[in-house]
Amino acid sequence: MKRIAVFTSGGDAPGMNACIRAVVRGGLHYGLEVFGIIRGYNGMIKGDIIPLNSQSVSNIIQRGGTILKSARSKEFMTPEGRKKAYDQLKAHGIEGLVAIGGNGTFTGAEIFYNEFQIPTVGAPGTIDNDLYGTDYTIGYDTAVNTAVDAIDKIRDTADSHDRIFFIEVMGRDSGYIAVQSGISGGAESILIPEERQTIDDIVLTLKNGFERKKSSSIVVVAEGDEEGQAAEVADKIKKTIDVPVDIRVTNLGHIQRGGAPSAYDRILASRLGLGALEGLLNGEKNVMAGIVNDQLIYTPFHDTITKKKLITNDLIRMVSILGR
């Protein structure tokens, strides 16, 4: 293998640039020509492929976002689109790919290999931390710290005005950000897709707080919770709770995706980028590089895509005990 390409796809995550840097500099160390594909699968189809060298990735380890840009590609979901992408890779002499992204990225890579035998090794880049086969994903630590910083600030105003704040964090299918930012921020209640908590449960928790003369409360809601998003949950609580209280809602939104990556995310992304590259050189394909128990492992894309990464019961137990 002489020529490889790296790309980022799906939602951006802090640390993606550190991962790109590791792939490029690792590739140069092993005597490879390294290319970058701009805007993921869209760029692959259009032939938006550029050579990368050591200078290309200088001074990016501390930057959020992705210098290679990211996009979701409907055309790549079609056989015709994938054929265009294959033709562009062959025209550039690309023999292997490192894909930085999540479930959708790896689903596309697996289908692409089955059709055209271009080997791909993935690096898990998503703030949701929802990929089976790695303890942590690139960007998750930074996103949690961003959420905790916001929760701490909201706690100040909640205490000042005796309010209940419902704070929505990202996590359509995963409650990892909600659980860890909620525990870190001292939330009284946390709603996540993985664990059913009813409106009556939340009301009981809040009432217990009032009885102990607690003047303010924080409820963290993952956007994919069964009871609805934060605004919906807050409306249900207003109709149910029988004590006078001022309820406010804050949606943290896309600030969780941005910002300089934490030291942990920079190191994780560097390990995973180099691990993905070395896996590719060692004949791995259709696998994701991950870190489990501080060891580099490779998990088949099929398992990463289809198997559910569960939140540990210990974290859920902590929420029920410490939030009272």
Output the DSSP codes for 95-148.
-EEEEEE-HHHHHHHHHHHHHH---EEEEEB-TT---TT-SS-BTHHHHHHHHH
| Separation of first and last alpha carbons in the chain | 58
Length, in residues, of the chain: 324
Tracing tokens 């994919």 back to the chain, one arrives at 224
Tracing tokens 């895509």 back to the chain, one arrives at 305
Q: Alpha-carbon torsion 297, 302, 305, 308, what sign?
A: negative
Compute the distance between CA of residue 148 and CA of residue 140 in angstroms, rounded to an integer: 12
Tracing tokens 């265009």 back to the chain, one arrives at 84
Residue 251 is encoded by which pair of tokens? 């949606």
Output the DSSP codes for 23-84.
HHHHHHHTT-EEEEETTHHHHHHHT-EEEE-TGGGTT-TT--S-TT-----SGGGSHHHHHH
Active site residue 128: yes
**Bridge partners, residue 33, by sequence:** 3
Compute the distance between CA of residue 26 and CA of residue 276 in angstroms, rounded to an integer: 10
**CA–CA distance from 163 to each of 85, 88, 228, 249 (Å)?**
53, 57, 21, 10
Q: Which of 12, 128, 130, 265 is catalytic?
A: 128
- List active site positions: 128
